[in-house]
């Protein structure tokens, strides 16, 4: 079992890590076009460079270098027609993410992960509040930059289990109150997949932390109560008033679901991505070129005729795996998948030895893997920050999470 190390990492170091985690979860501020959190993490790495002596996990470092290599090759490959400026614009981000993946796990002994959890929690709470006050905040502070509804849902998915843990350690009423608020937020912002995944994370968090007969019975009783309530006219009308998309998902027939243009567009973009991959399997079409790359999408799936007259030329991949596969080909997709499989396998095989502090990471990671099928959000610094933290939890080392 991985036990906590209780040596202090230093108050200055803790403050730097707190604000880094806070701004990762609350990415509203930029500095010279870069997220504040990215700058703070670079400062942390710079301060620790003198302590570098050998690498803690050669497998993670190798995958990170492989991913970096695939990113660069996809940009410089001259055999594919691409908008080079679009690729060069995002290449520094891929270099930074690879660097984070390589170095953050190496400096695990210099990190108090309780401080990371605390920063993420305060950041997410600020983000949720800011989204409810979006319009007045933008009028008052126009320089603030908030994620769109898709981005917000993704952030709540990957960070909520961490927030669950931190808030439950404070007071259970905070934990349940937060869960209620973000599930309502998912309804208001019409994030169907996000609502289902966060609700599932909440249930699994409860079951994992209190797995006994009483908990199972309570869970089944509550589930039955929710199901019965969902069949009432009052409940159905309430859902309809909050989100037509979620109402259609829950109550309408299969024919209506087939006409859901959001889901159909996602299928069309997957089809486009696979066509691109078949044409450029090794290096893809270059980073950040998916939207501008012209492909004749045949719409060869059930319901595809609904999109026959719709302009699909300005759509993102709607799927992070397809975005990676089409943009970087196998040279980028293979290390990316190796990374995800390595982390999830290491965490799963060691699940019985993970303590209460570490279990939220596996819930977040599984939620992230699932939601990446529905959103192109792999190209965000907070995503790679979380992946790097998850990679650190695979080291089998004694981690520091002293409460401060």
DSSP per position, 316-333? --SSHHHHHHHHHHHHHH
pLDDT at 53 over 60: no
> What percent of the chain is modeled with pLDDT above 70?
81
* Domain range enclosing 107: 11-392
- Residue 104 and residue 391: Cα distance in Å, rounded? 9
Q: Is there a domain that residue 92 lies in?
A: yes
Q: Is there a domain that residue 313 lies in?
A: yes
Query: For residue 30, what pLDDT band results from cuts at 50, 70 and 90?
Result: confident
Q: Is there a domain that residue 98 lies in?
A: yes
Q: Is there a domain that residue 2 lies in?
A: no
Q: Is there a domain that residue 191 lies in?
A: yes
pLDDT at 50 over 70: no
> What percent of the chain is modeled with pLDDT above 90?
28
Q: Is there a domain that residue 325 lies in?
A: yes
- Residue 176 and residue 206: Cα distance in Å, rounded? 11
Are 190 and 246 a contacting pair, CB within 8 Å?
A: yes
- Residue 255 and residue 167: Cα distance in Å, rounded? 42
Cα torsion angle, 114, 362, 175, 192, sign: positive
Report the domain count for the chain. 1
For the chain, the average pLDDT equals 81
Q: Is there a domain that residue 141 lies in?
A: yes
- Residue 58 and residue 56: Cα distance in Å, rounded? 7
Q: Is there a domain that residue 26 lies in?
A: yes
pLDDT at 1 over 50: no
């Amino acid at each position: 079992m991985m036990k906590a190390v209780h040596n202090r990492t230093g108050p200055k170091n803790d403050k730097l890590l707190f604000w880094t985690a806070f701004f990762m979860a609350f990415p509203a501020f930029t500095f010279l076009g870069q997220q504040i959190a990215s700058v703070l993490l670079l400062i942390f790495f710079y301060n620790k460079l003198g302590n570098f002596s050998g690498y803690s996990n050669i497998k993670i470092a190798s995958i990170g270098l492989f991913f970096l290599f695939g990113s660069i090759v996809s940009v410089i490959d001259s055999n594919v027609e691409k908008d080079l400026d679009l690729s060069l614009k995002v290449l520094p981000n891929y270099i930074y993410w690879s660097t984070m993946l390589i170095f953050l796990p190496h400096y695990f002994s210099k990190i108090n992960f309780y401080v990371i959890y605390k920063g993420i929690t305060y950041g997410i709470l600020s983000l949720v509040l800011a989204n409810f006050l979006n319009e007045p905040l933008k009028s008052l502070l126009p320089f603030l930059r908030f994620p769109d509804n898709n981005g917000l849902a993704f952030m709540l998915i990957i960070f909520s289990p961490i927030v669950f843990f931190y808030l439950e350690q404070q007071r259970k009423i905070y934990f349940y109150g937060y869960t209620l608020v973000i599930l309502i937020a998912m309804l208001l912002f019409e994030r169907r997949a996000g609502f289902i995944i966060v609700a599932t994370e909440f249930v699994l968090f409860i079951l994992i932390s209190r797995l006994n007969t009483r908990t199972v019975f309570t869970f089944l009783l509550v589930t039955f109560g929710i199901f019965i309530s969902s069949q009432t006219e009052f409940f159905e009308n309430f859902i309809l008033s909050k989100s037509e998309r979620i109402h259609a998902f829950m109550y309408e027939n299969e024919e209506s679901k087939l006409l859901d243009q959001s889901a159909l567009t996602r299928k069309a973009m997957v089809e486009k991505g696979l066509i691109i991959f078949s044409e450029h399997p090794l290096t893809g079409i270059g980073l950040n070129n998916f939207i501008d790359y012209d492909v004749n999408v045949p719409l060869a799936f059930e319901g595809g005729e609904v999109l026959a007259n719709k302009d699909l030329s300005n759509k993102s991949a709607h799927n992070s795996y397809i975005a990676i596969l089409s943009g970087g080909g196998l040279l980028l997709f293979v290390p990316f998948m190796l990374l995800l499989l390595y982390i999830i396998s290491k965490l799963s095989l060691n699940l019985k030895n993970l303590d209460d502090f570490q279990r939220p990471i596996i819930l977040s990671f599984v939620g992230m893997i699932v939601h990446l099928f529905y959103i192109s959000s792999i190209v965000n610094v907070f995503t790679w920050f979380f992946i790097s933290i998850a990679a650190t939890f695979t080291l089998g080392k004694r981690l520091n999470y002293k409460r401060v």
